[in-house]
A and B are shown apart, each in its own frame.
Chain A
Amino acid sequence: MDKVISESTTERISVSVPMNQSWKYASGTPMERFCAGLKEKRIEALQCEQCERRYLPPRPFCGNCHKKLKKWIDVKDEGTIEAWTVLNLPMLDGRTGKPRATPYGMALIKLDGADTTLNHYLGESDPKKLKIGSRVKAVWRDELIGAMSDISYFEVLP
């Protein structure tokens, strides 16, 4: 039972505030090149020339060495599942604000040629068919727009 500290003499009221706003964010140079690559089904990472870590997403600076990142390298659209889950409780899609249809599989995928993992959807949503170490390949959508969503999901390879 909640502790009521205020004595309400009338019906309790609240105000509902629906909002429909838009924001506009700059890509920065590394992400600009990365997105242009996606339009051609090309995935590029930036490598730190000091620690040699190959970063996805490509970003301006190495957080460990504090160096500016300049060395572009090609990464495959195939990789290995490092971690996985199947969601029965949907999360909001950050672009639409709507929940996704459940169940759906997600994984942290280490693409061949990268040292960081990519968080993305899987084509498989049966927990019995998912395991760490499985190989996956990107399924690209037909019309490429130069955004992460150009990869619809990753299919689990036999």
Chain B
Amino acid sequence: MRHAAIIGTGQTNHTRRRDDVTQPELIREAAERALADAELKPSDIDAVIISNMEMFEGRAMPELWAAEGAFAAGKPCMKVATGGTSGTSGCIAGFHQISSGLFDVVLVIGFEKHSEGHTQTGMALVDPFWDRSVASGALGNFALSVSQYMAERGVTEEHAARVAVKARRNAANNPHAHLKMPDVTVADVMASPVLAHPIRKLDMCPQSDGAAAIVVASEDKAKKLSPRPAWVNAAITRHEQPYIGDIERRLATMRTLKDASRVVYKQLGITNPLEQFDVAEIYEPVTYAELAWYEILGFCEPGEAGRLIEEGVTAMDGTLPVNPSGGVLCANPVGATGVIRVAEAALQIHGRGEARQVDGAKTALVTGYGVYAWADVIALGAEPGGN
């Protein structure tokens, strides 16, 4: 298989509502910025992938409507829709198109315009016989799992609040972030209203309008076109059984994320991810999920996530800065969210993270999370083929 690398990234400034643009115009902003970043013309793109959860907007076939905004008319184009993992799965599909030799330059674009539709309705359209009458939505699903995770692993509301503070303060350094709160405190988070016990308003991600794009290139092209490509050194995805009740102690076990990460670590010879990655951009739609992922991803032993956040191990100046961008807690246009994780990790390798740059970052870990189960894990590096 050929090596693939990310040679350009582009994002909109994610926000609650972008009623000044249509979906294709929103996409165009991110796509144009990614092409400019890679110093490429639309005609240099061989194929386009679009990640979007169209049930949220209620507009079918977004890959058709968006074709012009996405530079896709007259080119191979497909859509990827796997819940929250849509963006990372779209990126992985693009990596495979390059690695397989099918194409040399692929543009991956993720977008969501939650303000135009009904995200809750989209989330409620589950199995009509089993759980549609008792659907608890993303918030309820998380709250249920969090109650188990807290009881089992001794995580507290204060630990979660510390995650929220880290994210919102990091986001203040990210011009693209939706929620920037440079002065937010643990007390502020713990005083915010309880939406679904024990999850508070400031524990949750927002719903955002936004788009993000990356340009992926083959080894030859990347070396020619980019002074510092972000090499895709591993990309693994996992699916799961269909019902939330199928997964035993979900946040503590999360076999999709655990299995995908272990395959990545094995491929790269990683035995201590906390020390061996320089930065991580992980998909944490709620504060408690970030803590659970620390344990699942092997940043610490089970039950130690609280200590990690207390000691600042994942802060900007810690051993492994997690989500310098502010993460999903600070911007969540669902179809774009996974692409944002990949783009932010690539920016770190490119050394163009500006105020949110982790000094000298050469390796980055990325995760995607979809519905309550799907997981993607991607490793990027400054050198092709390994960490």
The chain B residue sitting closest to A87, CB to CB, is: B196
The chain A residue sitting closest to B175, CB to CB, is: A3
Our pick among A8, A89, A119 for the contact of B139 (Cβ within 8 Å) is: A89
Known: A91-B137, A92-B124, A94-B133. A5 touches B21 (CB 8 A): yes
B25 at the interface (CB under 8 A from A): yes
Q: How far is the CB of A59 from chain B (nearest CB, A)?
A: 8
B136 at the interface (CB under 8 A from A): yes
B223 CB contacts on chain A under 8 angstroms: none
Known: A25-B128, A57-B127. A85 touches B133 (CB 8 A): no
Q: How far is the CB of B20 from chain A (nearest CB, A)?
A: 5
Contact A27 B129 (CB under 8 A): yes
A4 CB contacts on chain B under 8 angstroms: 20
B15 at the interface (CB under 8 A from A): yes
B271 CB contacts on chain A under 8 angstroms: none
B61 at the interface (CB under 8 A from A): no
A73 CB contacts on chain B under 8 angstroms: none
The chain A residue sitting closest to B151, CB to CB, is: A132
Contact A148 B130 (CB under 8 A): yes
Interface 1/0 per residue, A111-152 and B, CB below 8 Å: 000001111110000010000100000000000000111000
Contact A92 B20 (CB under 8 A): no
Contact B29 A85 (CB under 8 A): no
Contact A12 B20 (CB under 8 A): yes
A2 CB contacts on chain B under 8 angstroms: 13, 15, 17-18, 20
A106 CB contacts on chain B under 8 angstroms: 134, 136, 140, 143-144
Could you say which of B134, B143, B145 has the most chain A C-beta atoms within 10 Å of its C-beta?
A: B134
Known: A94-B124, A148-B129. A87 touches B20 (CB 8 A): no
Could you say which of A19, A83, A116 has the most chain B C-beta atoms within 10 Å of its C-beta?
A: A83
Q: How far is the CB of A44 from chain B (nearest CB, A)?
A: 13
- Count residues of chain B with CB under 8 A from any CB of chain A: 51
Interface 1/0 per residue, B332-354 and A, CB below 8 Å: 00000000000000000000000
A35 CB contacts on chain B under 8 angstroms: 129
Known: A2-B17, A89-B139, A107-B144. A120 touches B197 (CB 8 A): no
Contact B140 A87 (CB under 8 A): yes
A34 CA to B129 CA, complexed, in Å? 10
Contact A119 B134 (CB under 8 A): yes
Contact B243 A94 (CB under 8 A): no
A23 CB contacts on chain B under 8 angstroms: 128
Could you say which of A27, A31, A35, A117 has the most chain B C-beta atoms within 10 Å of its C-beta?
A: A117
Known: A31-B129, A85-B143, A85-B144. A14 touches B196 (CB 8 A): no
A25 CB contacts on chain B under 8 angstroms: 128-129
B126 CB contacts on chain A under 8 angstroms: 94
Known: A106-B140, A106-B144, A132-B151. A86 touches B197 (CB 8 A): yes
Our pick among B58, B132, B143 for the contact of A95 (Cβ within 8 Å) is: B132
A156 at the interface (CB under 8 A from B): no
Q: How far is the CB of B140 from chain A (nearest CB, A)?
A: 6
A84 CA to B58 CA, complexed, in Å? 31
Contact A89 B130 (CB under 8 A): no
B241 at the interface (CB under 8 A from A): yes
A97 CA to B133 CA, complexed, in Å? 10
Known: A14-B19, A63-B241. A147 touches B29 (CB 8 A): no
Our pick among A17, A116, A121 for the contact of B134 (Cβ within 8 Å) is: A121
The chain B residue sitting closest to A150, CB to CB, is: B133
B243 CB contacts on chain A under 8 angstroms: 57, 116
Contact A147 B140 (CB under 8 A): no
A59 CA to B12 CA, complexed, in Å? 43
A24 CA to B96 CA, complexed, in Å? 37
A143 CA to B193 CA, complexed, in Å? 38
- The 7 A-B residue pairs with the shortest CB-CB distance, nearest first, are A85-B143, A94-B132, A94-B124, A117-B245, A91-B137, A63-B241, A89-B195
17 additional contacts, CB 8 Å, given A84-B147, A119-B131?
A4-B20, A27-B129, A56-B245, A85-B144, A85-B197, A87-B143, A87-B195, A87-B196, A89-B139, A91-B124, A91-B137, A92-B137, A106-B143, A108-B148, A108-B245, A118-B245, A147-B129
17 contacts between A and B (CB under 8 A): A5-B29, A6-B20, A6-B21, A6-B25, A64-B241, A85-B143, A85-B147, A85-B198, A86-B196, A86-B197, A91-B120, A92-B121, A94-B135, A97-B121, A108-B148, A116-B243, A119-B244
- Contact surface of A with B, Cβ cutoff 8 Å: 2-6, 8, 12, 14, 17, 19, 23, 25, 27, 31, 34-35, 55-57, 59, 63-64, 82-89, 91-95, 97, 106-108, 116-121, 127, 132, 147-149
